Every structure is written in structure tokens, then in C-alpha cells.
Amino acid sequence: MHDSTLKLTLRYLVSILIVGIFVFPIAWWGLTSVKPISAVFDKDRIVVFDFEPTLENYRVTVLGYSKRGSKEDGKTLMGTSGNNSYDGRSSIVSSVIVAVGSTLITTIFALLASYGLSRMRFWGSQGYLNWILSQRFLPPVAIIVPLVFIFHDMGLRDTHAGLIIAHTLINIPIAVLLLKSFMDDIPIDIDQAAMIDGATRFQCFWMVILPMVKGGLAATAVLCFVFSWTEFLLSLFLTSSIRTIPVKITTYVTSTGSEWGYISALGTSAILPSFIFILLVQRHLVRGLTMGAIKD
Amino acid sequence: MGSVTIQNLVKRYGGLEVLHGIDLTVEDGKFVVLLGPSGCGKSTLLRMIAGLETVSSGDIAIGEQRVNDMHPKDRNIAMVFQNYALYAHMSVRENMAFSMRLKKTAQAEVDERVNWAASILSLEPYLDRFPKELSGGQRQRVAMGRAIVRNPDVFLFDEPLSNLDAKLRVQMRKEIKELHQRLKTTTVYVTHDQIEAMTMADQVVIMRDGVIEQIGTPLDIYDNPDNLFVAQFIGSPGMNLLSGEIVQGAGGKMFQTGDVTCELPQNSAAMVGQKVLYGIRPEHLQASMQGSGLSATVTVVEPTGPEIHLYATLAGHEICAIAHQRLDWKPDDELKLNPMVDRVHLFDAETKVAIPAG
């Protein structure tokens, strides 16, 4: 009895420690975003909680108030016309458009490709998979210069569509590989049973395989979304007026200093949409969707 | 309408030929079991009938219709897979109704068919459950239900019982047989389990390395194996085999191995001097503790309940006899064995083909 209590306590302690290690940076970031500048840059001590919290950083970056106008009494909304270079609203919108768009396109393409690769034998199917994967061997920075030219010539530079395409291209290999492994877990007997039951290839995919691979699809979508949401390099080079959040944040590092308050405020706000997205799909993120289909 | 005719069927994977010219006719309403060791091509043959494998050459017909190039869904067959292959995201009812849903059958008829199948298979209480909430036997029944609702011309079973435990297997074996007696649908059933084949089949097809070794009723195959492979494959414990030659004895032709000689059936076609394998099933070796007969030494005694398996050495050969009397057999005991002469099988030592008894 005593032994098991000790074990349980230890187990909790270790869990709390590990969770703490992961949560601390985010919590500190969140805390920084509500600190006045004096609390962020206190050279004598580390300010943890003893400061007067302020929402100024959020007013400027997320609500679009101008830097000065957001001071306590200010109600003037100067930043909304574009004068406020710290206004992060349009970059949040851009990030959402790009991330949702590229996630949607990636998962649709990857779903069809992985079904084909998992279920159909065709000449070169093995080599094909390696070829898809090889698209990720090269770091994106190595192709950035030709990519900028190509996108420019095609009129895709500095457009949402262009960035969506770029992110889709980067995401597809991983998404295909991941989804294929989920599809491979579903025995081919299920497809064959469906076809004997009278299903066409498409009906088999749509009515039988797709519902069974839902969990894998959700996992893939989350990965793609998070990648696109946090992607920096391609966004930096392929856009100039459209600014996704990671690129926008770097503009807060100016010649006159880093605006830690704004950086942390926009950074903390940026967690929210991806958090909501993951919440939406996580109920599908359960293992064992194929349970019961075959002898375990 | 539900017969299956296979003519000179060949299956190749690239350069590898796995079925070498199979000829087989399954008559309408019959229960045919394809039996053989793993890798013999029995599942491939079944899958070709189903349309899940392409035909390299030869013909398959269901009823009068040649189906070589027909999509599985157009063959009006139903198949039960070894691992059930249920649709995990659908309830039992939806699993069974799936094929009719694809055909856009009227809901009333779907309900009627599903309820009919569920009542036959005792699945009524489980219709709204999901496969993961069912036991292995229930899942197997759902797989069968999915097959029977369609009223197919032919049932195909691919080792459906091999994932079940021994007790359930016996029960499901009986259920499948009852189902067949009731529905009288032509059935092709693949198994590597000879007990399943013997107990369920109207006709057993024994396969090895892509060819059919023998076709016959279970008892015919057991009593009159065409060759050594069939003789060894069927029966447990297996047939005893002694290698030796035919000699001329006082009362006619005799079999001799070492200093042991055994009588042969009258009119045996074996020729004097011919090298042969002498086969006798364990239950056709009458064992006694004394009296006349071949002398053997007991090595292992295995009581199974209804009978006792006696393993012994006879002239350097390992043999097995089945005794029904509950005598106190012990290792190293001397044993007297009397083969039942009319149950002796002879196989040519070179061709391994059975030598006719007369």
C-alpha cells in the first residue's frame, strides 16, 4: 500500500516536471505579453507576477490601435488605416487563409495519392514513393531563388494562392507518406469484401476506406496546418505585402530595438487559431478506428 | 445456375507459375472443399473464382456464364474472409445491408433480408452493435450474414475458421454445414484443416504445388488415396509407411522390409521385385499384448480418451497403432501388430502412385 502511494507520488511528480518543462516557455511568453515594458526589462530582478498587467500589446497588435493611441486614455483608432506598422490583424487573416488553404489541398491530394500507392500496383510504384519523398531531401532554402523567379513570372508572388501552392508542395510528400502508412494498416481484404459486395473502386474508397482512415487524416491535417502556420522562409521570400504571422513578427525587431511586448502578444495570439483547429480535429485523433474489422 | 466450371486454369505471377492447368467442376448446390498445405494455390484458385485475381489462361464459368474478365461485383458471388474483413465503422445491420445499399434496394426489402439473415445466424440482439463490440464467433457470423443476405449464386469461404479457438471452430463448422443444408447454395471452401474438409465437404479437392492431386468424397479420399501425398496428408495420426519390396512368399506375393514380411491383399497388382511403400492406417493395425503378429516395441503411449495412440518401432521403422482396449500399455513393452490385409495400401517407391489392390 505504502509502496504504491510512493510510486504514485513519484509518477505525478515526474509528470508535472515534464509538463512544466514544455509549458513553461509558453506560459512565460504569455506572461511577457501582458507585462509593461518596465517589467520586461528590469535589470535588477526577474519580474514574475508583481507587475501591473496591461493589454496594450494586444490592443496594438491584435486590435490595431496605434502605438500611442493605445495608451490608457486613448480611444483614437489610428492604426486601422495601415498607419500602424504593428497591426498584426491582416497577418492573422493571411496566415489563416494560407494554412487552411494549403492544409485542405494537401490532404485532398495526399488522400488520393496515398490510396493509389497503398492499393494499386503499377509500374514504378515503389520508385514513385521514393521520388515523392526525395522532394524533401533538399532544404527549401536551396531552391528559394529559382522559386521566387518562377512565382514572379507566373504572377503568384505576393499572393495567397502562391503561398498556398508553395506550402502544399512542401507538405505533400510527408502527408502522402503518413496517410499511406495509415491506409496500409487497413487490410486489403476490406477493399475486396466491398468490391465483392458490389462497390466500385470509388465507392470502396469513399464509403469504406475513407471513414476508416479518418484518424490518420486528422493527424495529417494537423501536421500540415502547424507546418504552414509556422513556416517562415518561403513566406518571407515569396511575399512582400502579404505577411504571415512568423514573418510579421520579425518586423517587430527594428533598428531601434526589439518590441518584446508586441512579439509576445502576437506570438501568444498566434497559438489560438492552431489550438482551435487542433481542438476541432482531435476528436478524430483516436487510434483503433479499424478495431473490430479484422481478427486482432 | 450456381455451378462453377474451371477449365485448364493457369495463374502466373511474372515468370512464376503457381497454378498449372486446373480442371474442376463444382456442381450446383454442392459443398466443395479445397484442401492442401500452405502455398499449394488453393486460396489463389478461390480468389480467381471471386475475381480478385486475374486469370493468366484458361476459363472460369459460373453457371453458363464465362466470368474471366468480369468484375467481382458482377459475378453474384459472396465471400467470407479469413479475417472477417468487416466494415469497422458500420453497425452489424449496416455491414449486412451494405451490398443492398449499393444496389439501391428498397428499404423495406433491405430490412426484411437483414432480419432474415440475422435470425438464421442468431444475430438479432447485435444488429445495432459495432464489430469491435462483438466476439470472434459473432464477427464471423456477421461476415457470413453479409454473404447470405445477397442470395448469391456461389459462396466462397477463405479459411473462415482459422482465427477461432478450437471449441468455437467446432461449433461454427456445424453452423456453416447447417447453413448450407438449409440454403443449398453452391459453396467453395478453402482450408488447410483436414478435419474441416472431412466433416463439411460433399467433395474434397486435394491440391499440392498448384495441381489437383485428387478429387473425391471425404471417405473415398481417406480410404482410397491416389498417391502417397494424399495418403500422408489425410488422416491424423498419419498413415504408417514402410519402404521395402515385393517378394514371392508361400501363400502368394508378400511385402518385405528387413526381416519383417507382411501379407498383401489378394490380386494386388504389385509385381515381385517392385520397390514399394507399404501403407497402413493406425486404426487398421490391430495391437495386442500377446499372441501372433509382427513384434514391435512401444516407445510412447498417448491416451486421447476414446482411444490410445501407441507409437512403436517395427524393424527400425517408427509406426503408430490405435488401440481401443484400455490395456496397461507402457513404454518398452512388446507389442503384437496384425495389419488388416484388405486395408493395406501400396505405393510405387519411385512414382509414389498407388498400386491398385486388385
Taking residues B126-153, what's their average pLDDT?
91
Chain A CB contacts of B78 below 8 Å: 196
In this complex, which of B50, B79, B99 lies closest to A198 when CB atoms are compared? B99
pLDDT at residue A295, rounded to an integer: 52
Give the B window 118-137 contacts with A, CB below 8 Å.
Answer: 130-134, 136
Contact B100, A207 (CB under 8 A): no
Minimal CA separation from B163 to chain A, in Å = 7
Query: B191 and B254 share a domain?
Result: no
The count of domains in chain B is 2
A193 touches chain B (CB under 8 A): yes
Last residue of a domain, one of B225, B249, B283: B225
Same domain, B38 and B144: yes
pLDDT of res. B124: 92
- pLDDT above 70 as % of chain A: 89
Q: Is residue B341 part of a domain?
A: yes
User: Range of B98's domain?
Assistant: 4-225
User: Is A291 in contact with B88 (Cβ distance < 8 A)?
Assistant: yes
Which of A50, A49, A51, A56 lies closest to A266 in space, CA to CA?
A: A56
Q: Phi, psi at residue A99, to the nearest 5°? A: -70, -45
pLDDT digits (tens, 9 = 90+) for B315-339: 888 999 999 888 888 899 899 999 9
Q: Could you say which of A196, A288, A290 has the minimum Cβ distance to residue B79?
A: A196
Residues B197 and B246 placed together within one structural domain of the fold: no
Q: What distance in Å separates residue A290's CA from the closest CA in chain B?
A: 5
User: Which DSSP helix (H) or strand (E) runs through A52?
Assistant: none
Show which of B225, B259, B283 is a domain's final residue.
B225
Cβ distance A292 to B130 under 8 Å?
yes
Interval A90-135: pLDDT, tens: 888 899 999 999 999 999 999 999 999 999 888 888 788 888 888 7
Residues of A in contact with B163 (CB under 8 A): 295
Q: Which fold has domain A89-282?
A: MetI-like fold (1.10.3720)
Per-residue pLDDT at A78 = 42
Q: Are B10 and B154 within one domain?
A: yes
Residue of A nearest to B158 (CA): A189
CA separation for the pair A171, A234 (Å, rounded)? 13
Same domain (yes/no): B180, B302: no
B106 sits in the region (left: phi over 0; alpha: psi -120 to 50; else beta) called beta
Which residue from B minimizes the CA distance to A215? B89
Residue A292 has pLDDT above 80, yes or no: no
Q: Are residues B126 and B269 in the same domain?
A: no
Interface with A, mutate which of B46, B47, B53, B73 (most A CBs under 10 A): B73
Closest to A54 in 3D by CA, of A82, A33, A28, A23: A33
Q: Report the C-alpha gap between B151 and A209 in whole angstroms.
A: 25
Q: What are the grid coordinates assigned to B23, written together?
A: 480442371
Strand, helix or coil for residue B317:
strand
Mutant choice from A121, A197, A200, A291 vs B, greatest count of B C-beta within 10 A: A197
Using CA coordinates, name the residue in chain A closest to B150.
A197
Once rounded to an integer, what is the mean pLDDT over residues A32-53?
A: 82
Same domain? B116 vs B70: yes
* CB contact B117 to A (< 8 Å): no
Main-chain dihedrals φ then ψ at residue A10, nearest 5 degrees: -60, -40
From chain A, pick out residues whose CB is under 8 angstroms from the CB of B79: 192-193, 196
E strand residue ranges, B55-167: 57-62, 65-66, 77-80, 154-158
* Residue B84 vs residue A42, higher pLDDT: B84
Are residues B295 and B164 located together in one domain of the fold? no
Task: Look at A198 and B83 and tell me if their CB atoms are within 8 Å.
Answer: no
Domain boundaries, chain A: 89-282
CA distance A176 to chain B (A): 23
* CATH number, domain with residue B119: 3.40.50.300
Looking at the structure, tell me whether residues B122 and B255 fall in a common domain.
no
B110 and B259 assigned to the same domain: no
What CATH number is attached to the domain comprising B269?
2.40.50.140
Give A41's DSSP letter: T
Question: Which of B165, B197, B225 is a domain's end point?
Answer: B225
Interface check for A200 against chain B (CB to CB < 8 A): the answer is yes
Inform me whether the C-beta atom of residue A210 falls under 8 Å from chain B C-beta atoms.
Answer: no
- B194 and B252 within one domain: no
Please check whether residues B220 and B254 belong to one and the same domain.
no
* pLDDT value of position A291: 53
**Mean per-residue pLDDT of chain A:** 84
Say which DSSP state A205 is in. Answer: I
ipTM > 0.90 for the complex: no
Q: What stretch of H or E contains B224?
A: none
